[in-house]
Amino acid sequence: MALSSQTTALAQIPRVHIFPTAGEAADAVAEHLLATVKRNPKSVLGLATGQTPRHVYAKLVHAFREGKISFCDVETFNLDEYCGLTASHPDSFAAFMQRELFGLADFDPRKTNLINGDVQDVVAEARRYATRLKESGAVDVQLLGLGTNGHIGFNEPGSASDSHVRVVDLADETLSANQPSLIELTSVPERAITIGIADILHAREIVMLATGSAKAGAVRRSLREAPSTDCPASFLGTHQAVHWYLDNAAAAEIG
Ligand code: GLP
């Protein structure tokens, strides 16, 4: 990976890469994922939704269209899904993935694992997804975004470091933060299924992308405070191979 010339590594915080703009941070994350898939075309990727990774996915699609990469042997696991939405509902994370990535490149639908939010028995669905995750062995690279309250996936403050796939109630801050991203719904679903913090930490490598000033406080708490359930992303500090990709705005408070 050609990161060294454009990254700022903080001596006291290894693997924190800071870029002038959000676009450059996302470009570097895309390069990281592309290098992973080039090294091992059968990589298992953990994928995230939200506004932050959209540029990353656009870069992956661009590389595919230019004939530089194939994703046909890649297996993916998404982090989370709202309860109550069909995969075709525009506000579901399944639809997001189809629009932003899966439908625009050569991913094999049999290998793109998504949580089904449209089920009567959400506990059984969480169990099914946990089993699939376990069968895959381990995620090679887990891509994450960051909630303004420090959540990862939908592991809200209060989530334990040994949590696994489960049904969760979303925090008020998350309901407000995700409201502007809605396409058809008028309010954010209050429940979701998410993989747990222990599942995230089980990945061989973790890539966190956080950009914009709204994330600066959560970035500081995650990197500067001791691991605590108050800020779920702080548990990433216990992982051996986590990369933080930040723009200047998100890095503003880590000093
Ligand atoms: C969402 C998702 C997270 C995502 C985060 C940030 O609720 N569950 O996986 O990382 O919130 O979203 P955004 O990138 O839109 O700020």
How far, in Å, is the centroid of ligand 1 from the Cα of 147?
5
Q: Is 32 a catalytic residue?
A: no
Q: Which domains does the chain carry?
A: 14-189 (3.40.50.1360)
10 Å CB burial of residue 76 (0-12, 13-18, 19+) is: buried
133-165 residues labelled b (16+ CB within 10 A) or e (exposed): beebeebbbbbbbbbbbbbbbbbbbebebebbb
Residue nearest to atom 3 of ligand 1 (CA): 153
Name residue 133's amino acid. Answer: L
pLDDT at 254 over 50: yes
pLDDT at 61 over 90: yes
pTM: 0.94
Residue with tokens 């059968």: 42
Q: Is 149 a catalytic residue?
A: yes
pLDDT at 36 over 90: yes
Per-residue pLDDT tens over the stretch 139-171: 999 999 999 999 999 999 999 999 999 999 999
Residues 6+ apart with CB under 8 A from 104: 61, 64
